[in-house]
Amino acid sequence: MSELPIWSHRFRLADLARGPVVLNLEADEATRRALAKHLGVRVLKSLNAEVRLRTWLDGVEIGGRFKALVEQESGLSLDLFDQWVEGPLEVRLVPAGSPNAPDPEIEIDLDPEAPDPPEILEGDVVDVAAYVVEHLAVEIDPFPRRPGETFTYAPPQDDDSPFAVLKRLKDDNG
């Protein structure tokens, strides 16, 4: 049995028969608390997404944008600060056994500018919110720092390395 997702919005592909669908998703407070823990941020103050679903080949294409406000701790000063995290949603799914599914036996040349190959959809339901969370996780800065904060390094004035100590001993006994 697989683990239940923290945030879920399931969509049946049969509902695309009438044409493209636009969903506006917003995570409630309890969901944001659980997601903050899952994503490793102090607080997830808001999370919403506008998602478009439409048929693509024999599957579905998910597009849109998400936006979140996260509270993080600066890796430099340890101060807390808020940061907006946003990005696009771009996912293509095809059913298992589709002639449009990538062949696992064929090596793919990765082109960072090319769209990702389609994912395999198990069943006829897609969890749209899970893709929002997946894309959000990629966009969160793992080494955050407050805007304008810079790291400056000043080497120590006294060199206490073993080689410096030996050099001083040699110079003193010179």
Q: Does a structural domain hold residue 4?
A: no
Q: Does a structural domain hold residue 126?
A: yes
Q: Residue 2: which pLDDT band, with cuts at 50, 70 and 90?
A: very low
pLDDT (mean) for 53-82:
93
Which residues form the domain of 165? 10-173
**pTM of the prediction?**
0.79
Number of domains in the chain: 1
Q: Does a structural domain hold residue 21?
A: yes
pLDDT the model gives residue 108: 66
Q: Does a structural domain hold residue 109?
A: yes
pLDDT the model gives residue 96: 85
Q: Does a structural domain hold residue 2?
A: no
Percentage of the chain beyond pLDDT 70 is: 92
By CB atoms closer than 10 A (0-12, 13-18, 19+), residue 129 is buried
Per-residue pLDDT reduced to its tens digit, 11-49:
999 899 899 999 999 999 999 999 999 999 999 999 999
Q: How far is CA 58 from CA 17, 36, 120, 124, 128, in A?
A: 12, 35, 11, 12, 18
Per-residue pLDDT reduced to its tens digit, 94-137:
988 888 877 777 676 777 777 778 888 888 899 999 999 999 99
By CB atoms closer than 10 A (0-12, 13-18, 19+), residue 20 is exposed
Q: Does a structural domain hold residue 3?
A: no
Contact 102/93 with Cβ under 8 angstroms?
A: no
